[in-house]
Structure 1
Amino acid sequence: MKKHRAALAAALTTALALALTACGSDDAPGSKAGSDATTALSHIHGVGSAAGKLYVATHEGVYTPGADGRPALVGDRKDDFMGFTVTPKGDFLASGHPAPGTDGPSNLGLISSADKGTSWTTRSLAGEVDFHSLDISADATVYGYDSTNGRLRVSRDGVAWEDRAELGLLDIAVAPGTPGTVLASTEKGVVRSTDDGRAFGRPLSGQLVAYVSWGAPDALFGVDPDGVLLRSADAGGTWSRVSTVPGGAPQALTAVDARRLLAATQDGVYESVDGGKSFTRRMAVTSGGDGH
């Protein structure tokens, strides 16, 4: 449930003894100014890119920068998109809860969009599952963290699911080019499975990471609860500091590839095209807390 994810994010923060406060300036240190336009988005749960365009999954729908730089709602659904990912084909997968006043089950299960979020189709598990984290492998296998039941689930087609390990986690990342390798960020550190999520080992290191995303086999990125961006070349065994993502507490991280990164923080959505060394704000927002 949402409370579980929020509690885990808080546990990560407490463990590092960090003050998660938003940066109030428009041009945070290490960033370049993008759009100065702001709008009230209550929470960001995921970021992605399709055909070079930025998409942001929030508590109240999926948004993309409009012609004036302001967040523009994609389609007409203002659901609470908790889990969100873009497939290699450019389709969207998501999960969460319907907008208030909308008919239907309280959990969306897995839904998909083949038109960049304009319309959505229910794929499976409607009313049963709220996936808080979603990722997809190169062979189109879908991995989702079932927050309703506290377990990882795997599907080859997005319809039939297999149960995997039970654990508390905040985010997952599937290894590109290494079938069966999955990482999960937990309150004790990043843990790894090499058997397709059936079992996870002990934390790989003492480094605590909130969100993880794999841009290339040797380019695993993570961001800690204070916004420090980290990179690992050995699947999470060791980490090196790259920079600090501007804007305060992180809310989402996606590595499109080894150089292009998308990161959501308390004051906006940022993009890097140099492997995280510098960031440009693509969407300025006023959001709520840690995003979950």
Structure 2
Amino acid sequence: MKKHHAASAVTAVSLLLALAACSSSDADGNTASDSSSATAISHIHGLGLNPSDGRLYVATHEGIYTPDAEGRPKLIGDSTDGFMGFTVTNDGTFYASGHPAQEADGPGNKGLIKSTDAGKTWTTVSLTGQSDFHALDYAHATFYAYDSTNGLLRTSKDGTMRKNGATLQALDIAASPGDPNLVLATTAEGVARSSDGGKTFAQGKEPVLAFLSWSTKDSLYGIDTSGGLLRSSDGGVSWNKVATVPGGQPQALSVIDAGHVLAATQGGVYESKDGGRTFTERLAVESANGR
């Protein structure tokens, strides 16, 4: 049993590290193709529902997309930049980070950027050229962001992102909607926990999860490296597997409420409105370079 447990842990850690490595290395090599083709999307890094129009928005290495009437990816605006961290606030403002497209000018890291027109245009908020935020969360009128360039958590009320927190190697973060000091991070060791707003983190504990999302007190979900969807009702102290998301290895997770879950895998973007018991495909994806 011990040998089996150790082998499983090594496999999970290897997959988690592969996800993280892909997230940071592909930005220099991927460009967008015809937005009417399912192959336009090679990697998904964020999901959100815009409360202003109820539409699904998908942040990818080739721009921001939304499903058309046939469920195919439709490019929003004309930007084919690589969008990494991505979040949609309750007032419909989009925040993101990432890299410019291969043919675009500008610094290699976009810092924190925002859009007030549902992803059509973007403006700089802070840290252009200095930081690439691979994970973004917004709660308690505060930005929580994982700066992959510098390997640390940053927080900010005003978007300047100058307040440095703990140094750690993480793939995703989630702030508690009920406690501004409680922040979780997915690491190669498991879920790491901070009780001081991200200044320090305890060592990660199993399960090893790739992505987290936490929208209300009873809606903390995580997805593991094989697509297993887990839920916690005690703030991440314990976890129960509720489903397996279709499509293989995960790419992003966004929870709208306790029963409403959006998950991206290599096979597409899937939606559940019953807490993971059933899933419906929302966006067909044929990954050009699967994770």
| AA of the residue aligned to 2:49 | S
**Pairwise CA distance, 1:67:** 2.3
Instruction: State the distance in 1 between where 2:56 and 2:161 align.
Output: 30
Equivalent residue for 2:203?
202
- Does the aligned pair in 2 maintain the 1:46–1:57 contact within 8 Å? yes
Equivalent residue for 2:135?
133
| AA of the residue aligned to 2:89 | T
- Does the aligned pair in 1 maintain the 2:13–2:208 contact within 8 Å? no
Instruction: State the distance in 2 between where 1:268 and 1:243 align.
Output: 16
Share of identical aligned residues, percent?
56
Equivalent residue for 2:49?
49
Equivalent residue for 2:89?
87
Alignment deviations for residues 62-105 of structure 1 (CA, whole Å, 9 cap, x no partner): 00001232110001100000111111211110000011121211
SS at match of 1:256: strand
SS at match of 1:216: coil
Instruction: State the distance in 2 between where 1:105 and 1:92 align.
Output: 21
Alignment deviations for residues 98-138 of structure 1 (CA, whole Å, 9 cap, x no partner): 1112121110000000111011010000010011110011x
SS at match of 2:125: strand
- Normalization by structure 1: what TM-score? 0.85
Residues 16-27 of structure 1: pairs in structure 2 closer than 5 A: none
**Pairwise CA distance, 1:12:** 3.6
Aligned length: 260
- Does the aligned pair in 2 maintain the 1:65–1:72 contact within 8 Å? yes
**Structure 1 portions without partners, runs of 5+:** 1-9, 17-36
- Does the aligned pair in 2 maintain the 1:11–1:187 contact within 8 Å? no
- Normalization by structure 2: what TM-score? 0.86
The one of the two structures with greater contact order (alpha-carbon pairs below 8 A, sep at least 6) is 1
- Does the aligned pair in 1 maintain the 2:94–2:114 contact within 8 Å? yes
Alignment deviations for residues 178-202 of structure 1 (CA, whole Å, 9 cap, x no partner): 1211000000010111111000113
- Does the aligned pair in 1 maintain the 2:221–2:231 contact within 8 Å? yes
| Change beyond 3 A, Cα 1:134–1:15 | closer
Instruction: State the distance in 2 between where 1:243 and 1:57 align.
Output: 24
Instruction: Tell me whether 1:264 sits opposite 2:264 in the alignment.
Output: yes
Q: 2:104 aligns with which of 87, 102, 105?
A: 102
Equivalent residue for 1:177?
178
Alignment deviations for residues 251-272 of structure 1 (CA, whole Å, 9 cap, x no partner): 0001011111110000100001
| AA of the residue aligned to 1:162 | K
Instruction: State the distance in 1 between where 2:101 and 2:169 align.
Output: 26
- Does the aligned pair in 1 maintain the 2:40–2:62 contact within 8 Å? no
Instruction: State the distance in 2 between where 1:43 and 1:229 align.
Output: 20
Which has more helix, going by share of residues? 2
**Pairwise CA distance, 1:38:** 3.2
RMSD over aligned CA atoms reads 1.7
Residues 58-73 of structure 1: pairs in structure 2 closer than 5 A: 58-73=60-75
Equivalent residue for 1:193?
194
Instruction: State the distance in 2 between where 1:233 and 1:273 align.
Output: 18
